[in-house]
Amino acid sequence: MASQFDLAGKVAIVTGASSGIGRSIATTLARSGAAVIVNYLTNESGARQTLDEIYAMRKNAMAVKADVTKRSEIVAMVAQALENYERIDILVNNAGTAVKLASLEEITEDVWDQAIAANLKSVFLCSQVMAPHFKRQQSGRIINISSYAAEVGGAGWLLHYAAAKGGVNTFTRGLARELAPFNVTVNAVTPGVIDTPFHQKFASGRLDEIIKNTPLKRMGTPDEIASMVGFLATEDAAFITGENFYIDGGR
């Protein structure tokens, strides 16, 4: 179980919250007192499981299906959230996928476009749609989930995914400066190899080697990522912006 923070009265959108890191972030924010919009696209049953975990804690949440690579669907999701909760305080851009393992020669235009859309365009669009609301509110938290792959170039046929996450890191720094005058902070959290379906799928053949080369000699847990996100969402983190926090076991 991730740590609990003081987020009473806050409202959060967590994209890609139907499994793995996204689910842990959603449940952590809910446990800490925030109402949570559990975003999903295809994994409706997973989103329902996330809701069930939140409801079991007697906390407030709703699931909203939206493709966060499409502006119109993000606008509709935000409108639905505002209709239900009247405000939004926290945006966690977690949704993403590596699409498939591929060498440079094997990366098709479609795979490249999917990777950029899912991992970078989605962060841009969600932040762009939320920015006017945060500005009017004169407060807000944007927390982007990046990846260690951006630092190593996606070793293991993930160049497309790594390039997108590198863009997330640059976007985070630039957006933090643009929104700072409105009391909106923007930070990134960079997981290493975490025990999630994502890494079981895209790093399954290399997990033993990765763990061996990790100073702490283990994979991380989704709750360890969620704890950093929870902290960055609080008032205790109000003077932190434009930063990228590595949760990677020392890699």
**What's the pLDDT tens digit per position in 20-41?**
999 999 999 999 999 999 999 9
Report pTM: 0.93
Amino acid in position 35 = A
DSSP letter, residue 14: E
Q: Is a pLDDT exceeding 60 seen at residue 127?
A: yes
Q: Is a pLDDT exceeding 70 seen at residue 200?
A: no
Higher pLDDT, 201 or 113: 113
Residue 94 lies in a domain: yes
Q: Is a pLDDT exceeding 60 seen at residue 203?
A: no
Catalytic status, residue 85: no
Whether residue 122 contacts residue 93, with contact meaning beta carbons closer than 8 Å, is answered with yes
Task: Give the chain's domain count.
Answer: 1
Q: Over range 117-140, report the average pLDDT.
A: 98
Residue 66 lies in a domain: yes
Q: Over range 245-250, report the average pLDDT.
A: 85
Q: Is a pLDDT exceeding 90 seen at residue 204?
A: no
Hey, which bits of the chain come out as E strands?
11-14, 35-40, 61-65, 90-93, 140-145, 184-191, 244-247
Catalytic residue among 40, 85, 148, 161: 161
pLDDT tens-digit map of 37-90: 999 999 999 999 999 999 999 999 999 999 999 999 999 999 999 999 999 999
Sheet holding 90-93, edge to edge: 61-65, 35-40, 11-14, 90-93, 140-145, 184-191, 244-247
pLDDT at residue 202 in the model: 52
Residue 207 lies in a domain: yes
pLDDT at residue 205 in the model: 63
Residue 54 lies in a domain: yes
Q: Is a pLDDT exceeding 90 seen at residue 173?
A: yes
Q: Is a pLDDT exceeding 70 seen at residue 201?
A: no
For residue 63, the tally of other CB atoms under 10 A from its CB is 19
Q: Over range 197-224, report the average pLDDT.
A: 71
Residue 3 lies in a domain: no
Residue 35 CA, chain-centre distance (Å), reads 17
Residue 185 lies in a domain: yes
Residue count (the chain): 251
- The parent domain of residue 114 ranges over 11-247
Residue 101 lies in a domain: yes
Residue 14 CA, chain-centre distance (Å), reads 7
Q: Quick one: tokens of 108?
A: 């098709």
Whether residue 83 contacts residue 117, with contact meaning beta carbons closer than 8 Å, is answered with no
| CATH number for position 33 | 3.40.50.720
Tokens 């902070």 correspond to 185
Residue 126 lies in a domain: yes
